[in-house]
Each structure stands twice: as C-alpha cells, then as structure tokens.
Amino acid sequence: MSTISIATANEVSELLREDLCAIEREFTRQSVSPVEMVTDIATYLIAGGGKRIRPLLLLLSAKALGCTSQARIRLGAVVEMLHTATLVHDDIIDEADTRRGRPSSNTTWGNAKCVLAGDWLYMQSFRTALEERNFRVLDLLISLTQQMVEGELLQMEKLGHLINEEEYFDLIYRKTACLFKVSMQLGTAIAESDDDYDQQMGEYGRNLGLAFQIVDDVLDLTAAEEVLGKPAASDLREGKATLAVIHALERGTGADREAIRTVLADRSFTRVSHPQILEILHRHGSLDYAMDTACAYAEAARLSIAELPGSDAKRALLWVPGFVTSRDR
C-alpha cells in the first residue's frame, strides 16, 4: 500500500466545506414543491441534519479523478435525497417514533403523507439526475433503487427469524453498502474514468458501507438513547438479528439462544431484558467480533484505492474508514 499520509478531520473539512455547503443549498432548492406539504416535510428532514457521508464520498471520488464539473454538486444532492427518502420509508415500515433525536416525520404528518413525500423525493432525485444526460448515472441509480427495495422486502420476510452471516451481509449490502458503492461510482461516472478506477472506487464504497452498517448495528445495541437519538436496541425490538447477535446465537448455550430467540419473537424486552442480552453478547465476545469485522472491512476499503494517484482527495478517502469505525452515533 502507498505510504501517502492519511488526512486529518480538519483537512477533510477544509477540502470539502464549500462543496458540501453547495450540495446542501442544491438539496434545499430541489426539495421545493408547489404542494406546500411536500416542501414542509422535506424542509423538516433536511433540518434534521446527518453525516452527509454519501455526498462526501461522491465528492471525494470525483476529486480524486480530477473532476471539477458542477455535476458533482447536483449528484451529491441526488444521493442525499435518495438516502433521505429511504429514511422516511424506513421510519414508516419500522413504526419509528424518533429519528436523530427528534420526532420522526411520520409521527408529525402521518404515514400516508410521508410515504408519498418519500416517493416525491425519489422521483425528484431521478429528475435531477436526468439533467446530466448520462446513461451510466441513470443505470447506477435504477439498479441501486431496485437493490434497496429488494433488501427492505427481504428484511421484512426475515423479521423475528434467525438468519446466518451470509444472509446478514446480503441484507446490509442491499440496504446500506450499495448506496455507498454507487456514490463512489457516480463520482467516476462524471469523471469519465476507465473501468479500473470504477471498480476500485466501487469496491471502496462497498467495503466502507459494510463497515458503516456493522458499526451502526453495534451502536444500536450498546449506545445510550440520548447519544443515538432513538431508542436503544431498536433492531432487536423490531425482530432484526444483526452480526453480534448472530455470533452469540452460534456460540451460546441453549439458554443463551433461547433468550435471544425470545426477544426476536416477542419484539420486546418484556420477558428477557436488554441488559441480559448485553451480558450474553459480552460473555461470548460477540460485540468485539462485530467491531473487528467492521475494522477489517474498513481496512479493505483503504486497500481498494491503493492504486489511486496521490492527492488530497485520496488522503481524505483514507481518513473516512477510521471515522466510520470510531464514531459513537
């Protein structure tokens, strides 16, 4: 691997500040509808903030390949609109009450209005992408949307049931890592790079996305509610078995497995408490196993771009995996 130094958080912030602000303005501009309710819901969602990691990846991918086209701003808004639309739909499907420490949009406007607002955001993102007149961009976005919808449907089929690691990784690829991968590939598409760079950037995004979701799943089990901005252990309450839980199920005693099965089936901690589940996970080293797996994928992301020419953008891409695995929310 290259000996190029890894950027600092301040360097990454300085490198991308203007472009990220421009994406935020574009997202806001694209979220205005003649129907006031759509604009109100979109404005509420934008104000909720977020890490904006997907547009950040698109920007870095494009910059690493020397692209300065305005398309990077428009498509940065597109991937954030797509992500926001998925969050709206996820909150409705999961019957969530909170998102990022605030009431979820569906608790304020109701499910029917929010599912339509989510649909509007999806279509607006495609309308914006269409302005690029780039078939590669549209192909990536169509394939992405199909993967995410399939992932959501597969997850719904498996709620309350035990799954293995292969099934888990397929789910988190479709639901999370695919959008990371496509964000990177959109950067290569507007830079008109060759297939080798497209493959490297895509592999980086896939590995980073897998690491991101595994960390998210660990934090869901371990972080305090006030830090997460949503109820702790939401996944277990919704009947979702994540990597640490799958690890404990494979290694636990009969009583351990029965306790986990009970929570997944009940979708509550009525008969088995959250601390009891955490004790099982700690005893079998399952949380450490999940974090070690996330770190391995983060390192794989760095290795994926070893052949990229040295640049500030590459140094920033080398920083992102460490940010993903060390965050607390």
**Complete domains list, the chain, with CATH:** 9-326 (1.10.600.10)
Each residue's pLDDT, cut to its tens digit, for the chain (329 residues) gives 447 899 999 999 999 999 999 999 999 999 999 999 999 999 999 988 788 999 999 999 999 999 989 999 999 999 999 999 999 998 898 888 888 778 999 999 999 999 999 999 999 999 999 999 999 999 999 999 999 999 999 999 999 989 999 999 999 999 999 999 999 999 999 998 888 999 999 999 999 999 999 999 999 999 888 787 778 899 999 999 999 999 999 999 999 999 999 999 999 999 999 999 999 999 999 999 999 999 999 999 999 999 999 999 999 999 999 999 999 88
Compute the distance between CA of residue 187 and CA of residue 60 in angstroms, rounded to an integer.
8
Whole-model pTM? 0.94
Collapsed DSSP state (helix, strand, coil) of residue 305: coil
